[in-house]
Amino acid sequence: MKHFCSSSVSEDLGCRRGDFSRKHYGSVELLISSDADGAIQRAGRFRVENGSSDENATALPGTWRRTDVHLENPEYHTRWYFKYFLGQVHQNYIGNDAEKSPFFLSVTLSDQNNQRVPQYRAILWRKTGTQKICLPYSPTKTLSVKSILSAMNLDKFEKGPREIFHPEIQKDLLVLEEQEGSVNFKFGVLFAKDGQLTDDEMFSNEIGSEAFQKFLNLLGDTITLKGWTGYRGGLDTKNDTTGIHSVYTVYQGHEIMFHVSTMLPYSKENKQQVERKRHIGNDIVTIVFQEGEESSPAFKPSMIRSHFTHIFALVRYDQENDNYRLKIFSEESVPLFGPPLPTPPVFTDHQEFRDFLLVKLINGEKATLETPTFAQKRRRTLDMLIRSLHQDLMPDLHKNMLNRRSFSDVLPESPKSARKKEEARQAEFVRIGQALKLKSIVRGDAPSSLAASGICKKEPWEPQCFCSNFPHEAVCADPWGQALLVSTDAGVLLVDDDLPSVPVFDRTLPVKQMHVLEILDLLVLRADKGKDARLFVFRLSALQKGLEGKQAGKSRSDCRENKLEKTKGCHLYAVNTHHSRELRIVVAIRNKLLLITRKHNKPSGVTSTSLLSPLVESPVEEFQYIREICLSDSPVVMTLVDGPTEESDNLICVAYRHQFDVVNESTGEAFRLHHVEANRVNFVAAIDVYEDGEAGLLLCYNYSCIYKKVCPFNGGSFLVQPSASDFQFCWNQAPYAIVCAFPYLLAFTTDSMEIRLVVNGNLVHTAIVPQLQLVASRVKFNQKICTRFHLETSWAEASSDL
């Protein structure tokens, strides 16, 4: 099945990532703490998340959706070696890259979550980290190790990879995967009385209050440490040296031990309570339960002397209204993490608050591990482990343990020659792997799935059936009201649920790209018929009138008055996404760009204009040609970006050859945005994203997605400027289309939908959908998000209220 996509224009500005980040994830502040006499103790820069700019906002339940609460990069999606390789037949290779650094490669042929979609999964282990990709399986074409490494941008070697036969390698690779971070977590819980301003005072609270105990009961179960066999979080479970009791819970497969200040050993002689600080001060995340009114002196992270704790969750309980208020402090180097706090951050449903808090803390610790301090330590450890393992294997290079099939085919089955010997080796390999997997599960270090999933919730990407029987092959589409305008091999049809399809254009007009601009009463489409390809514009109201009159579908000859003459031979076009300004269309004709604007762009739509004068049926005369811009090559991806001002700073982002460029619409001057270091490049999308009032772009190609900030420079020039919020990530599978349904990025492959967050690129879900084809998407801020996709002969719709 062929796969085509069509992403509709948004009726609001692309993605205001910066505004969203500041509003929902807070801004960095310099926080200074002082003692009772007003003397400054310490200062630190923290990002403060409060859900509201008003510290004393009325404590009403915050406006938020339960569907916003996601574990980011969940282990049951990211720990591939444990889930798909360990205890299964797979192949492992060792080699040295061009810089003589050792690497390991693991490859397996697996089923997509029992969906009968076989595919190759590959993990590349290097000192810089791990890379994971999926590759399609073909029963008629075997896959070589060289092609897998090439897909991971590793093409040059000092020593070609050799296969490792020894089954004990599984244990070593499992250790490498565990460097990604712990499956289980330990969080500090510090009780602070009203008016306490120093950590010595807070750690010296021998007992808590009734409200504090109620909060601990909400977090988890009180367990006896002596004899405890579960995850212990560094506490003594033999001799009671770290207290008699603690609080423990399991959330979505993660074991969590809380280091509760009032449960850790207390010493009257030690004012600093070193034993308590030894545990809580070495926790990455700490909850501070503060008593007192909102008007009381507020907690600040600088009150706590710790170089290790990066995130503080300040919890207050309002006994009168029986609700909890939450505030998050994150050290400034910690990347953004969700879920965003509601406004105001007040929770009346205690179970929902528990779910929200635990997810926020888990995501926060994972985000902290990506800070330079932790990331450098992890890379050093990974580098040491890989080099040590490589050194251990060196003496066996000339033995049977390593095979010289450096670029051999990755075989789903054992070879015909020496079949019995190979089958015996594979059986032993699988047996040892399954024993290792069982041991990890018993030890509690296994990345489990939803063992304790918390509140049941409907996810925003859950599909709904839109049309259960659609007999045609779709080329592209765009929503029109509650219906869908679909270009097919039989012409352009209007599809509305399971009602009979209505022909709008017949097959003589082969539409390859379209945009329904309802607010402008316009339909823009590209009809591609070889050299006679053209852009057409129609009034939606005129088309609607014809449909109501049950007219036959228009033929190409009926549309002569609707074609934009200078667009002959166009192979691509793009429209701007913000219609409070003029509508802009850029048309690509080989390496030439044609900029077109609409003369009379009235955002109020057809209603206002129809009251003044009757409209001409064809809107062609309303469009004017501004200029032509010549590029060095034909673009394969093109996106228009509205500048932050209305003066000469609009951009065109184009992708061709091995690069993304931005072109100034006013001058036609092109600037290099990003060069792709890869032998083969498959450009997917360039999505406009705004950061702090300036243009930014998410550039997607091959398996990669990278955020670039672009700002005006030197009067008409543009500068690619590094930003503190820049990030890049890799998709697990190479997508053919990407949709930004804020706050999510949805990547579509032929059999899956990978969902990540716009603000940080973190994975939240992977949905396996065999024979998937994206047909259209429509994104409206503060309205419903609809992504429709074609599945065999039926249409489905995934929607989310934003």
Its domain, for residue 436, covers: 80-180+389-400+430-449
Asked whether residue 444 carries a pLDDT value surpassing 80, the answer given is no
What distance in Å separates the CA atoms of residue 737 and residue 682, rounded to the nearest whole number? 11
149 and 254 share one domain: no
Q: Per residue in 477-525, pLDDT tens?
A: 999 988 899 999 999 999 987 778 899 999 999 999 999 999 899 999 9
What distance in Å separates the CA atoms of residue 517 and residue 10, rounded to the nearest whole number? 9
Q: Name the domain count of the chain.
A: 2
Domain membership flag for residue 421: no
48 and 127 share one domain: no
Q: Per residue in 601-618, pLDDT tens?
A: 444 444 444 443 456 778
174 and 269 share one domain: no
Give the per-residue pLDDT at 713: 52
210 and 294 share one domain: yes
CATH number of the domain where residue 357 is located: 3.40.50.11210
**What is the rounded average pLDDT of the residues 117-139?**
87
The three-state secondary structure class of 314 is strand
Asked whether residue 405 carries a pLDDT value surpassing 80, the answer given is no
Q: Per residue in 246-283, pLDDT tens?
A: 999 999 889 999 999 999 998 888 777 888 888 998 99
The CB density around residue 575, as the number of other CB atoms within 10 Å, is: 19
Q: In the chain, count of helices (H) and strands (E)? A: 13, 47
Most confident range (mean pLDDT) of 74-78, 110-114, 148-152, 777-781 is 148-152
Domain membership flag for residue 573: no
Residues 6+ apart with CB under 8 A from 628: 592, 593, 594, 595
**What is the rounded average pLDDT of the residues 784-795?**
48
What distance in Å separates the CA atoms of residue 133 and residue 761, rounded to the nearest whole number? 16
What distance in Å separates the CA atoms of residue 513 and residue 536, rounded to the nearest whole number? 11
Give the per-residue pLDDT at 334: 92
What distance in Å separates the CA atoms of residue 248 and residue 398, rounded to the nearest whole number? 51
Could you tell me if 151 and 133 are in contact, meaning their C-beta atoms sit under 8 angstroms apart? yes
146 and 294 share one domain: no
| Backbone φ/ψ region at 416: left (φ over 0), alpha (ψ -120 to 50), beta | alpha
Residue 720: pLDDT band (50, 70, 90) is low
What distance in Å separates the CA atoms of residue 34 and residue 41, rounded to the nearest whole number? 5
Domain membership flag for residue 378: no
239 and 103 share one domain: no
Domain membership flag for residue 535: no
Angle between helices 169-178 and 372-393 (to 10 degrees): 170
What distance in Å separates the CA atoms of residue 301 and residue 314, rounded to the nearest whole number? 10
236 and 264 share one domain: yes
176 and 198 share one domain: no
201 and 314 share one domain: yes
What distance in Å separates the CA atoms of residue 261 and residue 208, rounded to the nearest whole number? 9
352 and 228 share one domain: yes
What distance in Å separates the CA atoms of residue 722 and residue 726, rounded to the nearest whole number? 7
217 and 258 share one domain: yes
Residue 654: pLDDT band (50, 70, 90) is very high
Q: Alpha carbon 137 to chain centroid distance?
A: 25
Domain membership flag for residue 143: yes
Average pLDDT for the chain: 81
Could you tell me if 412 and 135 are in contact, meaning their C-beta atoms sit under 8 angstroms apart? no
3-state helix, strand, coil in the chain (%, to 5): 20, 40, 40
Domain membership flag for residue 736: no
* The two structure tokens encoding residue 415: 């070879």
Residue 115: pLDDT band (50, 70, 90) is low
CATH number of the domain where residue 440 is located: 3.30.1120
* One-letter amino acid for residue 109 of the chain: L
257 and 147 share one domain: no
